[in-house]
Structure 1
Amino acid sequence: MTTAKSESKELRELRDRIDAIDRQLRTLLNDRAACAEGIARLKTRLDANAPAYYRPEREAAILARLREENEGPLPDAHIERLFREIISCCLSLEQPLTIACLGPSGTYTEAAAIKQFGHFAKMRTLSSVADVFREVESGAAHYGVVAVENSTDGMVKHTLDCFTTSRLTICAEVELPIHHALLVRRDGDPEKIVEICSHEQSLAQCRHWLDLRYPTQSRRPVASNAEAARIAAETDGVAAIAGETAADRYGLDTVHANIEDQPGNKTRFFVVGNQQGEPTGRDRTSIIVSTRNEPGALYKVLAPFKRHDISLSRIESRPSQTSSWDYVFFIDFEGHRDDDTTGEVLAELNEVATGVKNLGSYPRALD
């Protein structure tokens, strides 16, 4: 009995301590929000035409510092997620952000946008990647989020093509682990699945799993995983391959989780906007280099990077949209456009290429 009373007292003391900490957190969060509002007023007073208050490089530096200083027990990823939401909430008081992304609601792109901007940003879902670019270019959205690369399937070609003609710059990158699930409507019978629909990339990423478990069911590619989830929610006998966001959005049950053939599957997204970011010390730069179709063209492009000992993280070729049989190279490399070494490389590239377009320098995604 004495032990039970002692434990009960200890439990009360811990709960009282949590209540006190919660009150402190509330006060500190409101203090932070008041500081954010003060920054907004100051920026408006200094420059009424100042760009959006959101600075991706500033946020990246804050989150990197918080992760570095974190002593637990909360893991770094949880700390990052909590503070992204705090930042998102404070930004909504300064200037609510409108974010354009590929729809319908429930896509992985929307999930990436929420990961970057939090739940307090307004998501505007659109029917194509080109529409996302146009929405930001027109000023209808502050930023756009577009998929650029998947660790299984490589670069997203239509996103690269949009960059060749757009004036938008890359402001940040987001990496999202991709976990596919087989979903059915809540009153559906998993034993009566006759068709499985999803985006063609997702069907390809789960091909081996489907061959083993659903070899006779037909497979239908659709515009997005969210569209597949919507169809499954409305149709008997149809299952969708999509993620948790789509399952929640359309009220579906998970029959099987994590059905992707490669468990380390990730998709990389770019945040596009109209502003240039400042260096953070852990940046990446993306460029488009145009060359003539001649022997040694690629060697000439790569030589400046070797001379200056700059690491390339990605190079991809695409046919030129302006000249038959000529190619453009999309190149990602470590560094910021304001770095002296990066400036020297870009200057040397301009001497050997027919054109160099800087798509932007941005903080690398946190691991």
Structure 2
Amino acid sequence: MNLSDLRKQIDELDAELVKLMAKRLEVSDQIGKVKEETNSPVQDLSRESEVLNRVQSLARSLGLDPQDIESLYQEILFISKKQQRFTVAFQGAAGAYSEETALKIFGPNTLALPYEQLDGAFEAVEKGMARFAVVPVENSLEGSISRTYDLLLDSNLMVAAEHELRVSHCLIANPETTLEGVKTIYSHPQALGQCQSFLKHLRAELIPAYDTAGSVKMIKEKHLLDGAAIASERAAVIYNMKVLEREIEDNINNYTRFFVLAKQDSAPSGNDKTSVVFAVKHEAGALYDFIKELASRKINMTKLESRPTRLKPWEYNFYLDIEGHRQDENIKQALAKAEDHVIFMKVLGSYPKMKKRI
């Protein structure tokens, strides 16, 4: 058999593979519709793990490299998820970091719905206008986004996933504007806070705005030639604006953590986190007694933060992240016993843990 014959066989096999892929995507499309109808979890990592383990095992039995096959199937799973079109609400304008995060999670086929305020993104899911909302919860430099936590306290939505985005800020202006000509800079307060070292040398007036990308859109629409905005490079591309400076954040380790919100949280994946909000009784040792219920069961606490209750001055709610799923027996036992030490407690959701940065 010569080279031409062998290549012909490859061509025939490729044609079969493409046909099979088309059939797989048809089924993925049907799965997406079922998920939409049943409000299924944002991402079924246990199912993905099952698929990857199965194909790796099959690869070994056929003498193939399991890691190569896993890499191939990671791409197939990503393409399959793209086929399942998701409607996702976010706060900000097109080009916002929240929108970028939504597209990274759900794929470029996502229908991303912008809302000027975080309240609108929550409401969109609550009223069925969007299936999910992607909202920022904390930044590695500036800390927690208070409004998100306040809304989580009052909402019936649950945390179904978390995602981390490396935030790299640009100074963006109209094409005619020069760096020397910038007199006013607009952006979200968090973004302004993350770029203080760069900004203090410009001596420009800093004006807080509701959104990073929205600031770019505003200076374009108003044609502000002495104004600039801090946002992502993607926002500059979307609005056809000029990047004056890149990577102006104070610290390259600038990450924002986002929650994906839905009407229900995620099923156990075997590697989960659970977020809880609670208020302890006003008595000595109450917080210690609460935490002791976790420690005695070897439950790792990854975050504990207090926020004013907004009901009485100097009274606080505690926001807690722990490792494990609310359906895990030790978590159920710990939270049940912790009820003895609290005025109220609400589980915000359980979801797969983010992969660690390398």
**Does structure 1 conserve the Cα–Cα contact (< 8 Å) formed by 2:195 and 2:248?**
yes
- Alignment equivalent of 1:36, drawn from 20, 28, 31: 28
**Does structure 2 conserve the Cα–Cα contact (< 8 Å) formed by 1:293 and 1:327?**
no
Cα deviation, residue 98, structure 1: 1.6
**Does structure 1 conserve the Cα–Cα contact (< 8 Å) formed by 2:178 and 2:244?**
no
Worse-matched range after superposition: 290-299 or 259-268: 290-299
Aligned to 1:108: 97
Is 1:86–2:79 an aligned residue pair?
yes
Cα deviation, residue 250, structure 1: 1.1
What are the Cα deviations for residues 3-51 of structure 1, in whole angstroms up to 9, with x where unaligned? xxxxxxxxxxxx999998975664343122122245468x59xxxx951
- Alignment equivalent of 1:231, drawn from 196, 213, 218: 218
Tell me the distance in 1 between the aligned counterparts of 2:206 and 2:46.
40
Aligned to 1:162: 151
Tell me the distance in 1 between the aligned counterparts of 2:29 and 2:310.
45
Q: CA RMSD in A?
A: 3.2
Tell me the distance in 2 between the aligned counterparts of 1:60 and 1:183.
42
- Alignment equivalent of 1:119, drawn from 108, 112, 129: 108
Tell me the distance in 1 between the aligned counterparts of 2:92 and 2:9.
44
Aligned to 2:134: 145
- Going from structure 1 to structure 2, the CA distance change for 1:183 and 1:18 (only over 3 Å counts) comes to farther
Counterpart code for 1:129? L
Is 1:261–2:259 an aligned residue pair?
no
Cα deviation, residue 111, structure 1: 1.0
Counterpart code for 1:226? A
Cα deviation, residue 152, structure 1: 0.7
**TM-score, structure 1 as length reference:** 0.82
Counterpart code for 2:284? P
Is 1:342–2:328 an aligned residue pair?
no
Tell me the distance in 2 between the aligned counterparts of 1:124 and 1:345.
38
Counterpart code for 1:29? M
- Going from structure 1 to structure 2, the CA distance change for 1:116 and 1:84 (only over 3 Å counts) comes to farther
Tell me the distance in 2 between the aligned counterparts of 1:21 and 1:251.
44
Worse-matched range after superposition: 237-246 or 343-352: 237-246
Tell me the distance in 1 between the aligned counterparts of 2:241 and 2:115.
23
Counterpart code for 2:338? L
Aligned to 1:287: 276
Tell me the distance in 1 between the aligned counterparts of 2:11 and 2:273.
43
Counterpart code for 1:86? I
- Going from structure 1 to structure 2, the CA distance change for 1:21 and 1:152 (only over 3 Å counts) comes to farther
What are the Cα deviations for residues 298-350 of structure 1, in whole angstroms up to 9, with x where unaligned? 21221111111111111111122445543211100000011111011111111
**Does structure 2 conserve the Cα–Cα contact (< 8 Å) formed by 1:56 and 1:363?**
no
- Going from structure 1 to structure 2, the CA distance change for 1:200 and 1:298 (only over 3 Å counts) comes to same
Tell me the distance in 2 between the aligned counterparts of 1:25 and 1:236.
54
Report the 3-state secondary structure (helix = DSSP H, G, I; strand = E; otherwise coil) of the residue aligned with 1:309: coil
Worse-matched range after superposition: 311-320 or 190-199: 190-199
Report the 3-state secondary structure (helix = DSSP H, G, I; strand = E; otherwise coil) of the residue aligned with 2:125: helix
Counterpart code for 1:231? M
Number of aligned residues:
340
- Going from structure 1 to structure 2, the CA distance change for 1:224 and 1:143 (only over 3 Å counts) comes to same
- Alignment equivalent of 2:195, drawn from 176, 186, 206: 206
Tell me the distance in 1 between the aligned counterparts of 2:213 and 2:257.
18
Structure 1: stretches of 5+ with no match in the other structure: 1-14
Tell me the distance in 1 between the aligned counterparts of 2:311 and 2:224.
45
Counterpart code for 1:366? K
- Alignment equivalent of 1:190, drawn from 179, 197, 208: 179
- Going from structure 1 to structure 2, the CA distance change for 1:311 and 1:59 (only over 3 Å counts) comes to closer
What are the Cα deviations for residues 237-284 of structure 1, in whole angstroms up to 9, with x where unaligned? 212111122112111222221111110110011111112321101100
Report the 3-state secondary structure (helix = DSSP H, G, I; strand = E; otherwise coil) of the residue aligned with 2:339: helix
Tell me the distance in 2 between the aligned counterparts of 1:308 and 1:124.
42
Counterpart code for 2:88? I
Report the 3-state secondary structure (helix = DSSP H, G, I; strand = E; otherwise coil) of the residue aligned with 2:325: coil
**TM-score, structure 2 as length reference:** 0.84
Tell me the distance in 2 between the aligned counterparts of 1:353 and 1:151.
29
Counterpart code for 2:178? D
Aligned to 1:241: 230
Counterpart code for 1:141? A
Aligned to 2:59: none
Cα deviation, residue 297, structure 1: 2.5
Tell me the distance in 2 between the aligned counterparts of 1:211 and 1:20.
64
**Does structure 1 conserve the Cα–Cα contact (< 8 Å) formed by 2:45 and 2:269?**
no
Aligned to 2:161: 172
**Does structure 1 conserve the Cα–Cα contact (< 8 Å) formed by 2:135 and 2:259?**
yes
Percent identity of the aligned residues?
30
Report the 3-state secondary structure (helix = DSSP H, G, I; strand = E; otherwise coil) of the residue aligned with 1:286: strand
- Going from structure 1 to structure 2, the CA distance change for 1:291 and 1:71 (only over 3 Å counts) comes to same
Counterpart code for 1:314? K
Is 1:62–2:36 an aligned residue pair?
no
- Going from structure 1 to structure 2, the CA distance change for 1:361 and 1:192 (only over 3 Å counts) comes to same
What are the Cα deviations for residues 111-153 of structure 1, in whole angstroms up to 9, with x where unaligned? 1111111121211111111121111111111111111111111
Structure 2: stretches of 5+ with no match in the other structure: 1-6, 57-65
